[in-house]
Chains A and B, each alone.
Chain A
């Protein structure tokens, strides 16, 4: 047993069920807070699976997120990708570089600003439901509803023409596909950078009332930095909520008593959104942090330069933190989950994501009282091979 516990393990990705994290994570979380882990590039670091450990590391400034010290949790490809340092990718920067970007952006994503968007998001959702209804049953929920809503919203917010969505959605899917080759990733990234670089230049000449124009107007960032930050916001802004909307709907359809409870009492939507975020935790790989000095953690020493994979999907199912963690219970107090991360890098767009879901799920359920899967559950293709978990397609009928 002792020997087994000290053997470095790779990060498991294969799941037995669509909604539960890989069973090894559950087993290892029970055995101890930290386990030696072998990273995609051969580095031997650590895997943290408990809520308190993951939260502690994410809040500890002695752990870095910089690309230069990063090890990819899985796959050689990611190591190549992460070695490419891009200006404006502030997710991969520590303070003070990170602080500079974050400060320029947080004012754009406040709770109040996001609430001001509610009427517009409601209109977008209603238009998509009209289109879906018109297309007729059955339809793919991802293509008709889950992807276009956050895509349209982030495009309007950033000032990116939605007419170009095929281009950036394709690039974004390539970037997030764990099976993409290094060459494919580089090509997609360069295409997306090129696209947004042109857009930033256009906004410098002819500014609009959008976030990218706003960043240009601050005069504090150069065009390459704005381009990099825009890539980050565009990709993060639609892939994440899109997968929550589709996977969340699937989870509700799979738990009919929870679905019925939400239909009966729509005021449960706020807690349902938090619970779906916790239960599904679509960021299923990492995040990863690297110790910048020797750090004592849970009775072990994380050596300077060693990386720790923080499994937020395991942490959000930690029985020490959540009672009956493997049950979907939309009435529970799920606040404190780590689905948006924790610490200074906690998701910038989380209030936008919340509002999109608080509008999206009820609008869908109201429109289609008889909503159901149009294929047998075992035929739903899960996104195990993507950096963001979810479903590739979700055929539904009504």
Chain B
């Protein structure tokens, strides 16, 4: 699993950080997504899938 984040689409709602705090963070400048673990371990993948699903702007995808 690899996480792709489109910071141009991101609106900084923070849903990913709330859902998978070990994998996502937000930029201090504009609040857009920072991916801490682009290839998350198995234990965190379920939370990552939920984060992708609840992202309001469609900025996150998996490959």
Number of A interface residues at 8 Å Cβ cutoff, please give it.
Answer: 26
Chain A nearest CB from B46 CB (Å) reads 12
B32 near A106: Cβ-Cβ < 8 Å: yes
Give the nearest-CB partner of A58 in chain B. Answer: B56
| A3 interfacial contact with B, CB 8 Å | no
Among candidates A102, A111, A335, A341, residue contacting B14 with C-beta atoms closer than 8 Å: A111
> Is chain B's interface secondary structure helix, strand, loop, or mixed overall?
loop
Residue of B14, B28, B58 ringed by the most chain A CB atoms within 10 A: B14
Chain A nearest CB from B32 CB (Å) reads 7
Q: Which residues of B contact A81 (CB under 8 A)?
A: none
Complex: how many Å from CA A335 to CA B18? 11
| A59 interfacial contact with B, CB 8 Å | yes
Q: Which residues of B contact A107 (CB under 8 A)?
A: 12, 26-31
Residues of A within 8 A of B (CB): 58-59, 102-112, 335-336, 340-344, 346-348, 350-351, 354
| B36 interfacial contact with A, CB 8 Å | no
Give the nearest-CB partner of B18 in chain A. Answer: A111
Among candidates B11, B28, B50, residue contacting A346 with C-beta atoms closer than 8 Å: B11
| B3 interfacial contact with A, CB 8 Å | no
Chain A nearest CB from B4 CB (Å) reads 17
Instruction: Please provide the 8 A-B residue pairs with the shortest distance between their CB atoms, ordered closest to farther.
Output: A106-B12, A106-B31, A346-B56, A110-B26, A107-B31, A111-B14, A111-B17, A110-B31
Q: Which residues of B contact A336 (CB under 8 A)?
A: 53-54
B58 near A111: Cβ-Cβ < 8 Å: no
16 pairs, CB–CB < 8 Å, chain A vs chain B: A102-B11, A102-B12, A106-B30, A107-B29, A107-B31, A108-B31, A109-B14, A109-B31, A111-B21, A335-B19, A343-B57, A344-B56, A346-B11, A346-B15, A346-B57, A351-B14
Complex: how many Å from CA A336 to CA B25? 20
Given A109-B14, A343-B56, A346-B56, 10 other A-B residues pairs in contact with their CB atoms under 8 A: A106-B12, A106-B26, A107-B27, A109-B31, A110-B12, A111-B14, A335-B50, A336-B54, A348-B13, A350-B14
Chain A nearest CB from B29 CB (Å) reads 5
Q: Which residues of B contact A350 (CB under 8 A)?
A: 13-14
Q: Which residues of B contact A346 (CB under 8 A)?
A: 11, 13, 15, 56-57
Complex: how many Å from CA A101 to CA B54? 23
Complex: how many Å from CA A375 to CA B63? 57
A344 near B14: Cβ-Cβ < 8 Å: no
A106 near B11: Cβ-Cβ < 8 Å: yes
Chain A nearest CB from B41 CB (Å) reads 22
Q: Which residues of B contact A58 (CB under 8 A)?
A: 56
Chain B nearest CB from A353 CB (Å) reads 12
Q: Which residues of A contact B14 (CB under 8 A)?
A: 109-111, 350-351
Complex: how many Å from CA A266 to CA B27? 31
Residue of B15, B21, B32, B53 ringed by the most chain A CB atoms within 10 A: B15
Give the nearest-CB partner of B27 in chain A. Answer: A107
Complex: how many Å from CA A340 to CA B54? 12
A109 near B12: Cβ-Cβ < 8 Å: yes
A342 near B53: Cβ-Cβ < 8 Å: no
Q: Which residues of A contact B21 (CB under 8 A)?
A: 111
Complex: how many Å from CA A52 to CA B17? 23
Chain B nearest CB from A93 CB (Å) reads 13
Give the nearest-CB partner of A55 in chain B. Answer: B56
Q: Which residues of B contact A354 (CB under 8 A)?
A: 18
Among candidates B26, B29, B50, residue contacting A111 with C-beta atoms closer than 8 Å: B26
Q: Which residues of B contact A341 (CB under 8 A)?
A: 56
Chain B nearest CB from A209 CB (Å) reads 16
Give the nearest-CB partner of A108 in chain B. Answer: B31
Chain B nearest CB from A155 CB (Å) reads 22
Q: Which residues of B contact A111 (CB under 8 A)?
A: 14, 17-18, 21, 26
A103 near B26: Cβ-Cβ < 8 Å: no
Q: Which residues of A contact B58 (CB under 8 A)?
A: 59
Complex: how many Å from CA A24 to CA B14? 34
B18 near A351: Cβ-Cβ < 8 Å: yes
Q: Which residues of B contact A351 (CB under 8 A)?
A: 14, 18
